[in-house]
Amino acid sequence: MHWKEQMSKLACDIPVKSIMLIVICIMLVLGILVSGICITSEGEGNGEGEVEVEVGGFAIYLTKQDIPPAQMEDLSHVEIAERPIITISDIITYDAQEHELILTVSAFERIYQLDVPTGGKSFIVCVDKAPIYWGAFWVHWSSLSFDGVTIWKPLSLEEPNVIRLELGYPSSELYTGEDPRSNPVVIESLEQAGKLITGPLAPVDELPHSMTMKGYELYSWEEDGQWHFTLITGTNRVKTIGEITSEEDFISEIGWVKIQVVGADAIKDVLSRLPEGESVFWCDELHIWQSTETDLQLPPEQIADAIEEYAKQCGLDFVVTVRSY
């Protein structure tokens, strides 16, 4: 073959081979992109090095510039951090009624280790990285109040691996505006991920051991000539009159209990369902946020003594903290 013909053939072959090579490279890159469902990056504030961060769905992010909660409402635009502090894969279940999140051990430790100042640490709840609402991580010992959505930092790793999206700090009475936690986009994302729980799961005829080291708290008050009682899981946080006197009962999957009944016989029946040896503290104003709506008090001595005696017969560690008569 003449050298001119060889050069001509070579000139035609080179572009074809180059194009084929480019096409193959593009296909390989696209294959990698569409097949990957996670990204690997340096862990954010959890001391675990590299972690897998799931793309999409419900997630909670810190703010990119660590914007204090006091400044959030003044800003027209807030950027989220590069990686979420809680991903959908960190969540075992989400209780839609109580807005409780049962977390994996590693995720709970991550929240426990989070550096939260007394003025709070802003977070943004997102779905597919789109902001839905914002709130703040808060610490129990803060003397500052807050009228937004809060997640209270765990006091100990010995607690259940649970966090709650609360309204306000130190109580929900300080919260203003609509409750954003049941946003349908959020609920749909959690439901699609198989994380959502919509109602109590524990049997009502047998109450669980308290999920906290505080046992149970019992409150009482008189209304329309009848004595009302509320048995609720004990906590370090303050409670509101509305929380105590609400007629809504629930028993969450992790054992958070709130039961309200009317009459001494009814509260005896509730106490009989508690496990033997469980601690119950009959409280007056203990752990109650400021309110003048309802006067919490113990009933007359004869009724109070009868309830106390019955509780001890049931094997309960029953303590009356305040005598109001």
Q: Which residue would you say has higher pLDDT here, 290 or 61?
A: 61
Distances (CA, A) of 9 to 14, 17, 19, 20, 103: 9, 12, 16, 17, 66
Measure the CA–CA gap between 310 and 268, rounded to whole angstroms.
7
Q: Assign 3-state DSSP to the chain and report helix, strand, coil percentages, each to 5.
A: 25, 30, 45
| β-pair partners for 295 | none
Distances (CA, A) of 223 to 220, 268, 288: 10, 19, 18
Per-residue model confidence (pLDDT) at position 254:
62
Per-residue model confidence (pLDDT) at position 33:
37
Domain locations along the chain: 40-197, 216-320
Interval 24-69: pLDDT, tens: 555 544 443 333 323 223 334 333 444 444 557 999 999 999 999 9
Q: Per-residue confidence at 96, pLDDT binned at 50, 70, 90?
A: confident
Measure the CA–CA gap between 311 and 187, rounded to whole angstroms.
40
Left, alpha or beta for 287 (phi > 0: left; psi -120 to 50: alpha)? left
Q: 171-180, 181-190, 262-271 — which is least confidently predicted?
A: 171-180
As a whole number, mean pLDDT of residues 142-169 equals 91
